[in-house]
């Protein structure tokens, strides 16, 4: 498929409609020429082209520079669907529904607490349960689970897990009103009932960073960021509940594809019309799972605040939420398609919303400068705070990349890297590590990921997001 790529800008490539007979739109790749070998070494391009076969897809299917092979859609992929003619596909959202990231701002500077970072990392590790299947402190009964699924962070706020303005700084306010707990099957609810406030395993983490560099002082001031400031990233999603929702509905849709007369080049793209009863049910269950994920990150935020109080007492000051953004989700948004405004369903799988200044969905303070975009790097490298730019609405349905993107599979990483050695290497660079799994640590080694600088360069050059701040890690807490 690489031979079919045509360059249409320094960082945008296109596979024309017609290269495969089933294509309904072109396919676009955001990358430099030097990055193409990373994208073409697995099934990413084939999967991207397959996405163009989905009924009702609009304009073009896209992958971001952090793209790699996934289930159905490539990770880093996105597509917009016509609400009347289009389909909804769980493979375009992912198993970890509303996997996302948030950034907490502290009043500490690096020099204030550098010596106490090890103690803080240990306390956060103790406070935030992590690991496969790990239970949290909150066990939900059926009625409470229903409230979490239906109301997300609104439930967390009512239960005392949120501080003033937290919900204001979360995408969609941490709550999707299309959620319906009754669309989530009991086995999924059972998996999630004791997992609120837990990190999980894999690439999920809590990371203590400091702001190493500011690129735009005016926007950084609006965001409340300054050099040497201590900030904390939280990266996790809907845990076992979201995974089970995806599993349940994928199984259901595989059997329904022929009934709706849909022909697919890959059964992993199983889908149903958005307007169908099954499509409406999955969307309601997906929204409920997204609400669960936002509530999960909110309780983890409460746990981090408790850990900070334990280490620093009253001197810790205020810990504010800069932003929380999803990168595995489908949302109904308004975009300009063929010169006309149209409500569409945007599938984002490993892609982050990046609305520019002036967008009506942003709060007034962010509307003046653009939405914060949070791009975590790999352990030992940098992470970024970006802002959405007008090009995102023109080229990528208000979206950008979501991280650095994997280079090595987890199996390949384990074969190449030893967890204990990696931990010592990170310590030698001044990065504390708290984890229960050396195998899991090896899977997430920096060399298993692409260069985050190159990824951010692409989206900045494309005009869809720009750098505001660079973050450097001081401690990593993982399952």
Q: Active-site residues: which are they?
A: 402
| Upper half-sphere CA count for residue 34 (Cβ side, 13 Å) | 6
Q: What is the DSSP string of 245-256?
A: HHHHHHHHHHHH
Distances (CA, A) of 379 to 62, 127, 246, 296, 357: 27, 21, 28, 22, 31
**Token digits of residue 471:** 């973050």
Q: What is the DSSP letter of 337?
A: E
Task: Determine contact, residues 477/435, Cβ cutoff 8 Å.
Answer: yes
- Cα radius of gyration (the chain): 21
CA nearest neighbour of 17 among 9, 28, 32 = 28
Task: Determine contact, residues 244/187, Cβ cutoff 8 Å.
Answer: yes
Looking at the chain, how many residues does it have?
479
**Residue 410 CB: number of other CB atoms within 10 A?**
16
CA nearest neighbour of 183 among 278, 74, 57 = 278
Tokens 């384990």 correspond to what residue?
414
Strand pairing class (229-236; 383-388): unpaired
CA–CA dist 124, 117 (Å, integer): 10
Distances (CA, A) of 275 to 254, 278, 334: 17, 8, 17
Task: Determine contact, residues 56/81, Cβ cutoff 8 Å.
Answer: yes
Distances (CA, A) of 278 to 183, 248, 287, 290, 382: 10, 12, 14, 18, 42
């Amino acid at each position: 498929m690489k031979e079919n790529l045509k360059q249409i800008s320094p960082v945008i490539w296109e596979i024309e409609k017609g290269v495969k007979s089933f294509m309904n739109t072109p396919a676009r790749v955001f990358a430099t020429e030097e990055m193409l070998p990373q994208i073409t070494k697995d099934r990413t391009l084939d999967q991207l082209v397959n996405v163009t076969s989905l009924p009702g897809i609009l304009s073009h299917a896209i992958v971001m520079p952090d793209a790699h092979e996934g289930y159905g859609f490539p990770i880093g992929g996105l597509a917009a669907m016509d609400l009347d003619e289009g389909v909804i596909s769980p493979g375009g959202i992912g198993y970890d529904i509303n996997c996302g990231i948030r950034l907490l701002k502290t009043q500490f500077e690096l020099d204030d607490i550098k010596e106490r970072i090890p103690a803080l990392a240990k306390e956060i590790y103790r406070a935030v349960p992590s690991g496969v299947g790990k239970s949290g402190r909150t066990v939900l009964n059926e009625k409470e689970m229903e409230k979490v699924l239906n109301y997300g962070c609104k439930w967390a706020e009512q239960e005392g897990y949120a501080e003033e303005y937290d919900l204001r700084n979360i995408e969609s306010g941490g709550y999707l009103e299309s959620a319906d707990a009754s669309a989530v099957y009991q086995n999924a609810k059972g998996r999630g009932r004791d997992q609120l406030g837990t990190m999980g395993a894999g690439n999920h983490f809590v990371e203590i960073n400091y702001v190493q560099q500011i690129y735009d002082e005016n926007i950084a001031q609006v965001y409340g960021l300054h050099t040497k400031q201590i900030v904390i990233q939280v990266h996790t999603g809907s845990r076992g509940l979201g995974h089970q929702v995806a599993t349940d509905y994928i199984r259901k849709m595989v059997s329904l594809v022929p009934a709706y007369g849909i022909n697919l080049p890959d059964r992993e793209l199983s889908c149903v019309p958005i307007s169908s009863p099954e499509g409406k049910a999955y969307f309601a269950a997906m929204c409920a799972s997204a609400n669960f994920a936002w509530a999960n990150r909110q309780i983890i935020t409460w746990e981090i605040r408790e850990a900070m109080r334990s280490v620093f007492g009253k001197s810790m000051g205020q810990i504010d939420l800069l932003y929380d953004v999803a990168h595995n989700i489908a949302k109904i948004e308004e975009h300009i398609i063929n010169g006309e405004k149209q409500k569409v369903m945007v599938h984002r799988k490993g892609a982050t919303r990046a609305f520019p200044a002036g967008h009506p969905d942003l709060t007034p303070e962010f509307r003046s400068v653009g939405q914060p975009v949070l791009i975590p790097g790999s352990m030992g490298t940098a992470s970024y705070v970006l802002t959405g730019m007008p090009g995102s609405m023109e080229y990528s349905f208000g979206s950008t990349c979501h991280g650095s993107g994997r280079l090595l599979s987890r199996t390949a990483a384990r074969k190449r890297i030893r967890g204990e050695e990696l931990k010592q290497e990170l310590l030698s660079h001044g990065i504390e590590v708290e984890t229960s799994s050396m195998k899991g640590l090896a899977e997430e080694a920096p060399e298993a990921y692409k260069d985050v600088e190159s990824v951010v360069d692409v989206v900045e050059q494309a005009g869809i997001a720009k750098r505001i701040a660079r973050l450097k890690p001081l401690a990593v807490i993982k399952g």
